[in-house]
Amino acid sequence: MVNRYTLGSQGTTIKIYLPRTRLTTLPQRPPTVKDIGTGGGKTVLVAEDDDAIRSVLKEMLRELGYNAIFARNGEEALMLAKKYEGSVHILLADVVMPGMNGCELAEQLSHMRPNIKVVLMSGYPKTAHPEVETTKAVFVQKPFTINQLAIKLKEALEED
């Protein structure tokens, strides 16, 4: 198959040669929550300063089968982690929060609960946060779907 395009008034011609094929590939469907599995009652400590995002996360985590504890900032998350008597399996924290950021929270919380896994989230790309690059945390960029969140939480739980 040959397509010809003329650019500009000088008569430049670009030819693109593509092979003919009868093969078709079916688009892969993204994994669903059923494919990924559920939280199995594991506990997630969420530190997010935005009320609307906390509300959405509450619904997502409930649907995924996680127990969740919610904090409005890093200081409140540390206080809740101290008071909570059960296991906290994952910290899900916004990177950018007033006061203590998500990376600082993760570091302090890891001293208190050494086995905790960390998922950091931000509306900015990971490259905008050099401090995230130096952590062992899993990163998810906002906005994300419930499937993307499920994948990241599972990824964090499977890390050694």
Residue 15: the pLDDT is 82
Q: Residues in the chain with pLDDT < 50?
A: none
Residue 100: the pLDDT is 96
What are the residue boundaries of the structural domains of the chain, listed by start? 36-158
Handedness of CA 91, 76, 125, 63 (dihedral sign): positive
Judge: domain 36-158, CATH 3.40.50.150.
no
Q: What pLDDT digit, counting tens, does each position of 87-119 carry?
A: 999 999 999 999 999 999 999 999 999 999 999
> Which pTM was predicted?
0.78
Handedness of CA 134, 109, 90, 79 (dihedral sign): negative
